[in-house]
Amino acid sequence: MNFKPLFFYLFLLLVFGCKESHLYLEKIEGKQISISDSLPVKSDIEAFIKPYRAHIQKDLDSVLAYSADTYTKSDGEFNTAIGNFMADAVYDEANPIFKSRTGKNIDMVLLNHGGIRSIISKGNITTRTAFELMPFENTLLVVEMKGSQLDSLVDYLSKSKKAHPISKLKLVINKDFNIVEATINRKAIENNKTYYVATNDYLFNGGDNMNFFKPNDSVYNLNYKIRNALIDNFKKVDTIKPVIDDRFIQIK
């Protein structure tokens, strides 16, 4: 007896006869796998990783500068020494890049208080310090804005009650948090003048409710991370001694 046609028929029946069948997920089961220092070390993996870890640790611990004191973002009410340092460092490092590409200068810098993620401790400043201070991959943008558009930016800062880092912008508010004075590079803001505002991609995209940057098509991406700007600035100075100043104050 020839079984080949029979097997072929059964095969077709199984394939085409199951076309209308449906499979349904009935349940999902899982279990927690605890990860701790008690897990045995895989010697071959450890041997492979060790030279890379040593290289990274050496780079992170390389001394770049010295901090004369310990600085935190809670030291001031409307501006802080650490925030002033960060905003000024961004200006110092980003402006030459922007000018070389456009022939124009950055007029002011605006960062955010929440973006300061660590303190700067008194003593040696290392690459690790910069990574702790700015662990995010935020990149610097320069936004072209008319003076009339800056009204919303200035109003935001006056009402936020936070020491958002700024550079080249000076604000004076009264006890009701209304603007008394707002200048850029010591000059009154002119409604029809074009200003170039350096910030980061997070804020440009509405982070911390800073919605005043959009809509705006005139944006220059410097492809330069804030952290790298800080590292470059640390390398250029021997000692940092930032202070709380009068760039943003309240008069009673």
146, with CB counted inside 10 A (0-12, 13-18, 19+), is middle
Q: How confident is the model at residue 39 (pLDDT cuts 50, 70, 90)?
A: confident
Domain boundaries, position 93: 59-250
pLDDT at 17 over 60: no
Tokens 């009701």 sit on residue: 176
Q: Which of 115, 163, 141, 129 is nearest to 213 (CA)?
A: 141
Q: Which pLDDT score is estimated for 20?
A: 53
Does residue 111 lie within any of the structural domains? yes
Instruction: Give me the CATH number covering residue 180.
Output: 3.90.780.10
Rounded distance between C-alpha atoms, residue 165 and residue 133, angstroms: 14
Produce one character per residue of 29-57: b if its CB has 16 or more CB atoms within 10 Å, e if not. eeeeeeeeeeeeeeeeeeeeeeeeeeeee
Does residue 211 lie within any of the structural domains? yes
Residue 20, CA atoms < 13 Å, CB-side half-sphere: 2
Structure-model confidence comparison of residues 28 and 188, the more confident one = 188
Does residue 203 lie within any of the structural domains? yes
Tokens 């980061």 sit on residue: 200
Average pLDDT over residues 180-200: 96
Q: Which of 239, 243, 244 is nearest to 123 (CA)?
A: 239
| Arithmetic mean of pLDDT over the chain | 89
Does residue 232 lie within any of the structural domains? yes
Q: Which pLDDT score is estimated for 42?
A: 79
Number of domains in the chain: 1
Rounded distance between C-alpha atoms, residue 148 and residue 123, angstroms: 44
Does residue 49 lie within any of the structural domains? no
Q: Which pLDDT score is estimated for 2?
A: 52
Does residue 15 lie within any of the structural domains? no
Q: Which pLDDT score is estimated for 40?
A: 80
Q: Which pLDDT score is estimated for 178?
A: 95
Does residue 242 lie within any of the structural domains? yes
Q: Which of 226, 114, 89, 230 is nearest to 168 (CA)?
A: 89
Does residue 6 lie within any of the structural domains? no
